[in-house]
Amino acid sequence: MARIVLAMSGGVDSSVAAHLLVQQGHDVIGVFMRHGEEAVEACTVDGESSAILNVLDPRADHKQGCCSASDAADARRIAAQLSIPFYALNLEGEFRRIIDYFVDEYLAARTPNPCVMCNNWIKFGKLFDYADSVGAEYVATGHYAQLLSDADGELSIQRGVDQDKDQSYVLFGIRREYLPRMMLPIGKYKKTEIRELASQLGMRVADKKDSQEICFVTSGHHGQFVQSRKPADTAGEIVTTEGRVVGQHQGIERYTIGQRKGLGVAMGDPYYVVKIDSVSRRVVIGTYNELETVRLVAKDCNWLLRPPSETFRCDAMIRYNSRAMPATAKLTGEQLEVEFDEPCYGVAPGQAVVLYDGDRVRGGGWIL
């Protein structure tokens, strides 16, 4: 059997992934990744604050952050329970690159996705370097996605069996040549099955809450975190799409496209952020219908299937946990153009658009 480096976060998913790999007879090395932040809280990735892009209110079924000392202790206990070696890697420098990206994107009026970058640069980047150093053939994680071969034998990332937990979207940016060296042990299970198995195995993490998507935000709000890292005068006006000034804001980094709650102005009817201008520092708000988008352009594409050479049909996701929308896509030079069959709402520059062929991830790019 193979030697495998498994990213262990101390959560139930990677813990059960470790068990499954050991059960299959593999030589598993558990690795916990430290990011160097003293306090570990996180922005939310879901909640009732906005039907478009939820970033402000925490979920009751999620804990604040991951990668804390208690998470490391949980991961170490699971490794001991399974009798596998366990190491904590100090990746503060690598995480600093992600933090800088996160801060710079918000200050440029874009909405970053640090989880995709973490997968690209660290989990399926630096961990391969570590795997090579210990003679491991594979790197595994507890993502809800699958690695499957088609009729032609081409390996691809596909949606996880649990559609509610599917994480294939955040794996689109992985280098294609790494696919044969990846393992995703829990992708064929539902979350309820994973928790039940953890309980049967006597794992203390069986009922542990899922962590938030952003592990390093120390203030609990992304705007405060950005200013703590790179103080700047980003305050300005809040205006309607007609140009009417309706208020003042304390910084563009506090807003994202599709945001409804926390606008700082009372309009009577629901209003949403429809545009953010980093030059004028204006936050433009409008009605739900004004969020409507039928076309987007993306750059820095990554393809997990053979790169398309012409216009093609696909399903396109504009953010994690959104619904995949039928669309037509084409490559124009190095840019990707996506035209939706029906309008979608809340397309945010800086986020990833990920294209699917059925359940297979074709690839994607970063929304301009």
Q: How big is the CA angle at 172 (ends 170 and 177), to the nearest 5 degrees?
A: 130
For residue 284, give Cα distances in angstroms to 280, 292, 345, 352: 11, 14, 15, 22
309 vs 313: CA distance, rounded Å: 12
- In the residue annotation, 43 being an active-site residue is answered as no
Which position among 43, 67, 115, 118 bears the catalytic label?
118
Which position among 115, 215, 301, 314 bears the catalytic label?
215
Written as six digits, the tokens of 168 are 């294939």
307 vs 321: CA distance, rounded Å: 25
73 vs 10: CA distance, rounded Å: 7
Edge-to-edge strand list for the sheet holding 282-286? 245-249, 236-240, 282-286, 272-277
Q: Which residues lie closer than 8 Å to 299 by C-beta, 6 or more apart?
A: 334, 335, 336, 365, 366, 368
Residue type at 228 in one-letter notation: S
Written as six digits, the tokens of 3 are 């030697």
- In the residue annotation, 301 being an active-site residue is answered as no
Written as six digits, the tokens of 127 are 């961990």
188 vs 179: CA distance, rounded Å: 17
Residues designated catalytic: 118, 215
